[in-house]
């Protein structure tokens, strides 16, 4: 980690320039700059993770493990949370989740939320902090 001192004006200009960079890299860099500014100012930090897609049967078990670790929930609670995004068994038939469904959870700290989002996106999920 590198410690850099910027004025608020410089940080805002830098964050806005990230939009010009484009793609996920630009958005990710912009979000990191905004998060660093929020931490430095002690304001409005995001600790809600919203998953919008990418969770499926292939990555479901590692996602359950990540959610359990981040939230302190039990297996049943974490499994039910992921079932909403993936789908589940009804009697003897697999029923997939509705398309376009998303799910949010609130963590204790912004760092925990950022770590969970990083872990879930590393597993193939799509989401954001809010």
Residues, the chain, total? 130
> Based on the structure, what is the number of domains in the chain?
2
Looking at the structure, do residues 58 and 26 belong to the same domain, yes or no? no
State pLDDT tens for residues 51-98.
999 999 999 999 999 999 999 999 999 999 999 999 888 888 888 888
Looking at the structure, do residues 92 and 113 belong to the same domain, yes or no? yes
Listed in order, strand segments (DSSP E) in the chain are 48-53, 87-90, 93-96, 103-106, 126-129
Indicate which CATH number applies to the domain containing 84: 3.30.1390.10
Task: Specify if 76 maps to a domain.
Answer: yes
Q: Which domain holds residue 75?
A: 48-129
Looking at the structure, do residues 108 and 85 belong to the same domain, yes or no? yes
State pLDDT tens for residues 48-64.
899 999 999 999 999 99
Task: Specify if 93 maps to a domain.
Answer: yes
Looking at the structure, do residues 58 and 21 belong to the same domain, yes or no? no
């Amino acid at each position: 980690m590198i410690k850099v001192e910027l004025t608020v004006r410089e940080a805002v200009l830098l964050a806005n320039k990230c939009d010009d960079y484009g793609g996920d890299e630009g958005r990710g860099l912009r979000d990191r700059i905004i998060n660093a500014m929020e931490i430095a100012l002690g304001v409005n930090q995001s600790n809600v993770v919203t998953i919008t897609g990418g969770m499926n049967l292939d990555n479901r078990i590692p996602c359950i493990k990540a959610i359990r670790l981040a939230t302190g929930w039990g297996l049943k609670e974490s499994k039910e949370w992921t079932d909403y995004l993936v789908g589940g068994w009804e009697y003897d038939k697999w029923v997939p989740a509705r398309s376009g469904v998303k799910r949010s959870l609130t963590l204790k700290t912004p760092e925990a939320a950022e770590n969970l989002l990083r872990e879930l996106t590393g597993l193939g999920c799509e989401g954001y902090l809010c």
